[in-house]
Amino acid sequence: MKPTPLPLNHFLPGSSRLVLGCMSLGGPWDAQDIGEADIAQAHAALEAAQSIGITVFDHADIYKRGRAERCFGALLRRQPSLRDGIILQSKCGIRFADDAGPGRYDLSAKHIMASVQASLERLGTEYLDLLLLHRPDPLMEPEEIAEAFRQLQSRGQVRHFGVSNMQASQMRWLQRALDQPLVANQLEMSLGKLDWLAQDASFNDGQSGTALPWAGTLQHCQAEGVQLQAWSPLAQGRFSGAAAADDRIAQAGTALVRELADQHQVSPESIVLAWLLRHPAGIQPVIGSSQPERIRACGAATQVQLSREDWYRLFVSARGQALP
């Protein structure tokens, strides 16, 4: 049965236009445990996010090997009322190398169920608002995934389901087996990662060979009411202060971002995000900073309406190549 499309950006009531990505919480990747300093950092990031209206928090079972979720869980345990006002999403399906095998993807029902159970325990919550399949697994079987989703939903452990890093054909294939609509797809999109636009801006221009992998993914998501989320939307600061000295494209892009930031009287981060927000697909940027100041600097993004011309100036500058 064809799922009823949900209206864009209303995939979960109360969802904010920006999302806080929690991958950087929980200390260094090789730390053994979390300490008070990590919890304090998570608290400061959460407060900064809430101060700019963020209600959605993005996790994954693997972030800091579970310590990012544990930090966030510590906040929820200390202040249980926090849970009511936020939307929690997590991901499963990537496994690090272990005694059983190499680093791998695993969308078996057994792994999905075990991963969600562990995320819920770490986060100290009874349910996830949204579960994303982190990456496509060449061995995935839609019927098996459908059964896992059915069980997770009937137990009240997950309310909605989505994917990450999947293209339209994979989503269609998966959706045919599912009872629930896929409500989100999280993909890397930013001024520093432009292949998602190549299909629309460069198709048949005789220069770009990169259009195929996206293969209608943006259009599929828009047509089916699937919320697009952009990971690494700040391109890790490449256009807002962290450009390498020898990165000529980033240097030029940074100068343009600064010019527009001055013009709109906002931070460079807000311009970089406003560029994504200006796209008609209704993209939700998942910002990854853990610094309260940088998180707050993102807040004005939703108030900036870039002109068509300025959107193209940024696009062409970051592309490093004129259009057409």
User: Which residues contribute to the site for ligand NAP (CB under 6 A)?
Assistant: 21-24, 58, 134, 164-165, 186, 231-237, 240-242, 286-291, 294
Report the candidate in 27, 28, 84, 23 with the shortest Cα–Cα distance to residue 58.
23
Residues 108, 25: Cα–Cα separation, whole Å:
27
Smallest gap from residue 185 Cβ to ligand NAP (A): 9
Which residue is at the shortest CB distance from ligand NAP? 288
Q: Are strands 158-164 and 182-188 parallel, antiparallel or unpaired?
A: parallel
Bridge partners (DSSP) of residue 160 are: 130
Tokens of 242: 């962290």
Tokens of 60: 């994954």
* CB of 57 or CB of 149, closer to ligand NAP: 57
Residues 293, 180: Cα–Cα separation, whole Å:
38
* CB of 90 or CB of 317, closer to ligand NAP: 90
Residues 183, 225: Cα–Cα separation, whole Å:
7
* CB of 202 or CB of 288, closer to ligand NAP: 288
- What positions carry a catalytic annotation? 63
Cβ contacts of 297 within 8 Å, gap of 6 or more: 267, 268, 269, 270
* CB of 136 or CB of 237, closer to ligand NAP: 237
Residues 324, 322: Cα–Cα separation, whole Å:
6
